[in-house]
Amino acid sequence: MENLNLDFPIEIICEGIVDIAVPRLESFKRGFWDYAPARAPVFYNPRMRTCRDIAVLALQSYQNIVNRDLNISEPLAGCGVRGIRFAREVKGIKSIYINDINERAYHLAKYNVHLNNLEEKIFVSNEDANLFLSKHAAPGDRFDFIDIDPFGSPVPYLDSAIRALKDRGLLALTATDMASLCGVYPRVALRKYGGLSLRTEYCHEIAIRLLASCLAWTAAKHNIGIKVLFSHSTRHYVRIYALIEYGAKKADEALKNIGYILHCSKCFYRETAQDILLIGRDSRCPRCNSTLKTAGPLWLGKIADKNFCNKLEENLERKDFSHICHETRKIVSSLKSEADAPITYYVIDEICDKMGIPTPSLKEVINGLLGMNYRASRTHFNARGIKTDAPAPIIIEVIKRSVKKIS
């Protein structure tokens, strides 16, 4: 291996159980407010450690389920940290193909592969991501797992990734363009994802459902269906893990999960509708007669599979994964508890602000709803959020009752 000659400073860091050479981010900051990863010549974001931890855990869980050696790919690899962690931390990996169009990223990734003695398992290339994936679209060359982790939207890579996956392969997608996905720029979301986003208290769940809907429509064009096994919203990004299932019937079944959310910003009323064109629907709220806003088309199916969550938890108990961060453990536990919960969530602070009353404890409100035989649980989307099948008037009643107890 040749000496690494780069025109920017690097440092060796430890993540998971691997050592990685990364850009020295402090050298690229113009002030304490600056986002150094975006300025570095090779992308590496230490704040995405949780995302990579969950990816390692999800890939191991998937390998446990299919019980075979896997060929996997990361077409937007940056410095290669994710693929290298897969190689060292996940059992049952046959080969890993990592790629980046950035020539400096390519050289740094090759160095990191050498640093971790993985030349026989990891193959590095320097191509356009779609071109790289298209070269693996033939049946004998497809991957078991592809991880798309771009800076922005993963949509430009969906067609190529789907064509490069085996039947019942796993696709992981990250989206960081939260302004469009969360309703700040709904027309941008429509252009990119084929659906309108909505600025609501549960906008991060809408973001995941919008991304999943886009994936379902894209896969259906290839007579392929999807099943979302796991998803999460963490800080500045959303992430989904979806199983790819070949066949026109599977595609049709997946599209049955597509629909809309109708939302009233005045009285917190919301409902789902699967009529694609919403023909003949009243656009007024049935409770307060305000105008209903619409988000979608969205994925209305499950965004976490309980059996897959159980497998994630099983692997977290293994000694091999003792290095997985605490935040990952919290997300997995929370997603398992809300896997079968209703669509959308209520943020107690938002309701109390609108009503002009003090905010009670979340536990008190949840217990009040459970006592009335409704389902209620916390959600990882928002620390002050509740997933429940209780209608908004009941939630408001329980909140008022809880406030009286603390008055």
Give the model's pLDDT for residue 2. Answer: 47
The predicted-structure confidence for 113-144, as pLDDT tens digits, reads as follows: 999 999 999 999 999 999 999 999 999 999 99
Among residues 272, 299, 326, which one ends one of the domains? 299
Give the model's pLDDT for residue 33. Answer: 62
Q: Is there a single domain that holds both residue 125 and residue 194?
A: yes
Q: Is there a single domain that holds both residue 349 and residue 294?
A: no
**258 inside domain:** yes
Q: Is there a single domain that holds both residue 238 and residue 354?
A: no
Give the model's pLDDT for residue 8. Answer: 85
Collapsing DSSP states into helix, strand and coil, what is residue 375? coil
Give the model's pLDDT for residue 28. Answer: 83
**321 inside domain:** no
Q: Is there a single domain that holds both residue 356 and residue 277?
A: no
* Structural domains counted in the chain: 2
For residues 152 and 188, what is the distance between their CA atoms, to the nearest angstrom? 12
The predicted-structure confidence for 25-80, as pLDDT tens digits, reads as follows: 888 877 766 666 778 889 899 999 999 999 999 999 999 999 999 999 999 999 99
Q: Is there a single domain that holds both residue 277 and residue 350?
A: no
Give the model's pLDDT for residue 279. Answer: 44
**314 inside domain:** no
The predicted-structure confidence for 199-227, as pLDDT tens digits, reads as follows: 999 999 999 999 999 999 999 999 999 99
- Provide the greatest CA pair distance for the chain: 72
**91 inside domain:** yes
Domain span at 391: 345-407
Instruction: Give the CATH number, domain containing residue 143.
Output: 3.40.50.150
Edge-to-edge strand list for the sheet holding 224-234: 122-125, 93-99, 70-74, 143-148, 165-175, 237-246, 224-234
pLDDT tier at 407 (50, 70, 90 boundaries)?
low
Q: Is there a single domain that holds both residue 157 and residue 247?
A: yes
**333 inside domain:** no
The predicted-structure confidence for 135-183, as pLDDT tens digits, reads as follows: 999 999 999 999 999 999 999 999 999 999 999 999 999 999 999 999 9
pLDDT tier at 277 (50, 70, 90 boundaries)?
low
**51 inside domain:** yes
Instruction: Give the CATH number, domain containing residue 369.
Output: 3.30.56.70
Mean pLDDT of 357-369: 95
Name the nearest CA neighbour of 157 among 167, 148, 169, 165: 148
- pLDDT above 90 as % of the chain: 88
Q: Is there a single domain that holds both residue 292 and residue 349?
A: no
Q: Is there a single domain that holds both residue 213 and residue 283?
A: yes
Q: Is there a single domain that holds both residue 372 and residue 290?
A: no
- pLDDT above 70 as % of the chain: 96
Among residues 245, 269, 299, which one ends one of the domains? 299
Among residues 244, 268, 299, which one ends one of the domains? 299
Tokens of 163: 């064509």
**306 inside domain:** no
Give the model's pLDDT for residue 32. Answer: 63
**319 inside domain:** no
Residue 230 neighbours by CB under 8 Å, 6+ apart: 54, 58, 240, 241, 304, 305, 308, 309, 312, 335
